[in-house]
Each structure stands twice: as structure tokens, then as C-alpha cells.
């Protein structure tokens, strides 16, 4: 890991978090009844992305895994080669009556990663670290595409968003040692430089979305 690159990434996240992030103008309306839905998002190393979303109210589970490739090659050592088509991803289970899909995307773009870097997040490079939204329904596709267009038009980022919006064909859980990695390894240098700043910015920018006592 390059400490210099990690520090630069932390600074970039800080700058993005300080920007005005509008809520999505297009969203999926809640029915009012308690229910479950899932979202699959990729934004670089899944450790930090997982840690961000598991702190949100209405989110009951977040799993680190792989999307975009086949089940046969969904293993960390193989995915890390960058040739399997997978992206390190998280599957978020949430209650739309408490947090909407659009609000999850707001956190995804504002906090979880830099959506303007192609096949790179901080010190990590390769297609397995790409920015991607894997939609499961037409509504998710519609909201994701509309929000990207909204953010690009409002010039929230100095560069164009490169996030892919592609259909979800399968999600495969990552190995056990990747799950809740930050909770188990808060002093890992990679976590300290790349992931803990995200959590701090989440707490500062979206306090209303946080679960109590996290």
C-alpha cells in the first residue's frame, strides 16, 4: 500500500464530502409498510463500503462479495487478478420505509467512494475496484441513471461520473474473513488511511441517517 496515495484518497473523500450533495430528485416511493429490499453496489475495496452502509438506519444487513462475474471464479485470489469480470461489491438489505434506495445512492456517491475514477479507488487499481451499480429492478435502474444525470448536471464533482449501471446477474458472498473487516481490524493501516475517514464524514454529513450507538 502506498501511504501517499492513501492520504491523497482520504483528502479526495474529504473534499467530496464537503460538497453539497442534493438528495435524488427521482426515487422509489415507500409503501409505508415494513418490508425488505436489496441493493448491490461496488465502489472499490468492499471493507469500507460495507462499514459505511451497515451504520445506516433501516439497513439490517450488509454482505461483502463479488458481482459481475461467474460463481466459478468468485474467490478473492482469483478476483484480485482483475480478469474475472467481478467487482468487489456489497449487498445491502434495507427497509425502504426507513431509508429509500435513492438515499442509499446519495450516501454511495457522497461518502462511500469516488465515482469519477475509472477502475481505481485510492491505492487500489483494476476492474475489480470499479464503480458500479448492479440493479435488480427497472425502478433501481431508473433511479440510478436519473441520479447520475442529476449529479453530473449539478457539477457536484469536478469530473464526470464513470459509475456503471448494469443488471445484477449474481452476487456471491466473499470469504468470512472479509465480512465486517473494519470492526475486527480497526487499526489495520489500510483501514486507518482509507476507510475510517469515510465513517467520520458519514457521521458529519448524514447524522440523521445513522443508527444510534454505532
Residues with catalytic annotation? 45
On the 0-12 / 13-18 / 19+ scale of CB atoms within 10 A, 148 is buried
Q: What's the distance, CA 28 to chain centroid?
A: 19
Give the three-class secondary structure for 198: helix
- Closest to 41 in 3D by CA, of 122, 117, 106: 106
CA atoms within 13 A on the CB side of 185: 15
End-to-end CA distance of the chain: 28
Amino acid at each position: 500500500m502506498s501511504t501517499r496515495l492513501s492520504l491523497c484518497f482520504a483528502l479526495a473523500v474529504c473534499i467530496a464530502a464537503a460538497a453539497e450533495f442534493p438528495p435524488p430528485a427521482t426515487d422509489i416511493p415507500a409503501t409505508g409498510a415494513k418490508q425488505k429490499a436489496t441493493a448491490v453496489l461496488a465502489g472499490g475495496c468492499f471493507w469500507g463500503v460495507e462499514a459505511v452502509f451497515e451504520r445506516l438506519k433501516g439497513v439490517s444487513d450488509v454482505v461483502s462479495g463479488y458481482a459481475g462475474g461467474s460463481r466459478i471464479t468468485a474467490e478473492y485470489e482469483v478476483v484480485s487478478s482483475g480478469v474475472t469480470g467481478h467487482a468487489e461489491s456489497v449487498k445491502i438489505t434495507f427497509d425502504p420505509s426507513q431509508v429509500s434506495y435513492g438515499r442509499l445512492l446519495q450516501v454511495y456517491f457522497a461518502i462511500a467512494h469516488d465515482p469519477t475514477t475509472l477502475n481505481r479507488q485510492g491505492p487500489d487499481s483494476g476492474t475489480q475496484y470499479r464503480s458500479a451499480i448492479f440493479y435488480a429492478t427497472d425502478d433501481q435502474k431508473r433511479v440510478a441513471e436519473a441520479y447520475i444525470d442529476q449529479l453530473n448536471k449539478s457539477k457536484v464533482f469536478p469530473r464526470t461520473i464513470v459509475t456503471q449501471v448494469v443488471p445484477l446477474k449474481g452476487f456471491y458472498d466473499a470469504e468470512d474473513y472479509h465480512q465486517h473487516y473494519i470492526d475486527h481490524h480497526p487499526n489495520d493501516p489500510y483501514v486507518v488511511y482509507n476507510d475510517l475517514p469515510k465513517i467520520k464524514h458519514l457521521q458529519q454529513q448524514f447524522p440523521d441517517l445513522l443508527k444510534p450507538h454505532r
